[in-house]
Structure 1
Amino acid sequence: MTQYQSDLLRLLEERGYIHQTTDAEGLDALAAKQVVPGYVGFDATAPSLHVGNLVSIMLLRRLQQAGHKPVVLMGGGTTRIGDPTGKDEVRKMLTDDAIEGNIASIRTAFERFLTFGDGPTDAVMVNNHDWLGQIGYIEMLQRVGTHFTVNRMLSFDSVKLRLEREQPMTFLEFNYMILQGYDFRHLSGAHGVRLQMGGSDQWGNIVNGVELARRMDGTEVYGLTTPLITKADGTKMGKSVSGAVWLNETSLPSYDYWQFWRNCDDRDVGKFLRLFTDLPMDEIARLEALEGAEINHAKEVLANEATRLCRGEDAAIAAAQTARDTFAGGGLGEDLPTIEVGADGIRLGAACTELGFTASNGESKRKIGEGAVKLDDEVMSDPNFLITITPGNTSKLSLGKKKHGIIKGI
């Protein structure tokens, strides 16, 4: 381990956040002597971020915990362009109202992870449309375009991979790295930002910003990226079997969020505890050393701590209780996904889809045919079976061992 002098880099290294830095020694010295404002950028393409964004959010939380100032950059301007990194398709255009609505919704999640305010280490949220939207095209070409060469831009993976796959990249998207570089340069001047952080796929964009600030203003700024966070099975963070794991309650029930962490691979427990909870390192070491059935206790701790951070104490307690009621007690937890049916009832296949177990009735039919669906713990075989429930009563529908829902008669 590198012997850093600043609390910031010591904290980031011991918890596994550091992949690359543009100048570790310079950043370490700066963080040891003054408050460092640092930022991460997020585009507002949906009303919620997902767990794939969580490591970057936790980076900002660690920055604040170490006595520095988090700056959350919302891409009100760059969302209109689209980051080509890791994408094979052109991003769909959103209206101004949709982008503003997404930003307002996303902020509610950040308010759980960061302390916002006017103090020297309080977090602030800024919107790059405030400055990008004011720059004329000719001005941008003259002031900023001269600092970028097409040769270099073509060498970045975000561009090169699209070209190799013969996937179209619009000239609009090609400009994204210029705008992101300009964001860093603007924030260094307007907010004293000295650090940009992000995932490893953002390295090229971050380096562009570091170089642009130096060339245009003579300002020394720094970049830091995290490793690519994957699950033990090699898949990316952010997705579960049933889709994206959203941070906002309005996009994903807290029980499902809790279950995502509870169902993680045994091999991921220690890493996820370090990255996504505030538990002390000695407690994490104790939990990740558990073996056999005891590792399930560590997974429950992970689920409780991660849910507490993102959804609050009450949501974590309710989700854990629902899990106990459903799995241990054989009962029905109040936090389970629920649908209501009237006197006409509902077909078994349609109920699976409405509860979110399956993406379509066709998928429901396959799962039922495999014997994976149970109604009140009895295996069902007919997707057209009509479920009727008298008003006030309930039945439990299950897909496999981990997906459960309630059908309520009204």
Structure 2
Amino acid sequence: MSFLDLDRNATTPPYPAVVECVARHLRDTPGNPGSRHAAGRRARRVLEDARESLADGLGAEPEEIVFTSGGTEAANLALAGLIRGPRLGEEAADSGPTTVLVTPGEHPAVAAPLAAGAAAGRWRVRRWPLDENGLLKGDELENPPPGLRLVSLIHAHNETGAILDVAPVLVRCNRLGVPSHLDATQAVGKLPWAFRSLGATAASLGAHKFRGPRGIGALLIRSGAKLAPSLHGGHQEGGRRPGTEPVALAAGMALALELRMKELDDWTTHTTALRDRLEAALRRDCSAVIHAAGAPRLPNTASVAFPGCGGEELLVALDLAGVGASLGSACASGSSEPSPVLIAMGLPPELLNSSLRFSLLGEEPPEQIDEAAARIAACVKRVQEPCEPRHTPKIG
């Protein structure tokens, strides 16, 4: 039985050409890009070519790109480097509290550092309400909270696929003089996306979400914005992220984005049709409930509830049936708590506890989607069936 992987928001396999590109530079470009000899200069040229290619694909300037180890490090760097305000134990009554305004259900790359900062008393976290489709509700910036130092928004949600209308919020942030951060990890490579046009102060992303290599990502930081480094060492990346740059991975990341953007229109059309095909089959055969169905969504993402099933039990059954799915973010897979974003959307417990995420690569043939839907329906039926009562034999 073949394994049908419907957990592609967790990671994607790199393009074959990306694998070859990374291998070639590991072999042929071994110099340190900080060295001033010929081998170092060759490595520097590859690194800066990759930076320029990424800038072109992301609608940014080359100097606005900081290479990181992935989206998680990029988000942490943005949060720690952009937040300004009093720290625990400082007497700064005149400046008030340090407040961060965020969307509910953030990826752990954002939620965890914010929770750590709040627990240490360094800042307060306020969450922007969501409607039943996972979209921003109301205007939290009409009366900004005291001491607002940062607004962090998830552009496209990794669980529901809902695409937030972030542009008006970013315009308001700029008018207020408040720094902004976009978690663009699921948006880049799946949507038309341009950093400078959006107007964010910073944005984080990871290469392996759009068929690039694992172990590399980027923080985009607007020219002129001040970013306090989290690490200290060498002069690399303009002093914003010290450490020897991974030249081969940077080249692979740039190639992956170039390849994805060339196929984006066709990929979007094909992948949306596959997602809709899967959802229609699950509605028909499982009485499934599709979350965020009224919102603009990523083409490849379906968040689905199966009333009468436990999500954990169904996930195990699907794995045994050869179908990959998830309860939510892979980075939060150890949590048994209901999804924070689904809670923020106001879903009842029977939907909260029976929800799974399916995410597509976009290259699956339609018959594979049909097979996956059939396996899912069979698993749902088994999980929903009540256990047969055991007959205890009479003694004597």
Common topology (TM > 0.5): no
TM-score normalised to the size of structure 2? 0.24
Name whichever structure is richer in helix by fraction.
Answer: 1
Which TM-score applies when normalising by structure 1? Answer: 0.24
**Which one scores higher on RCO, CA 8 angstroms, separation ≥ 6?**
2
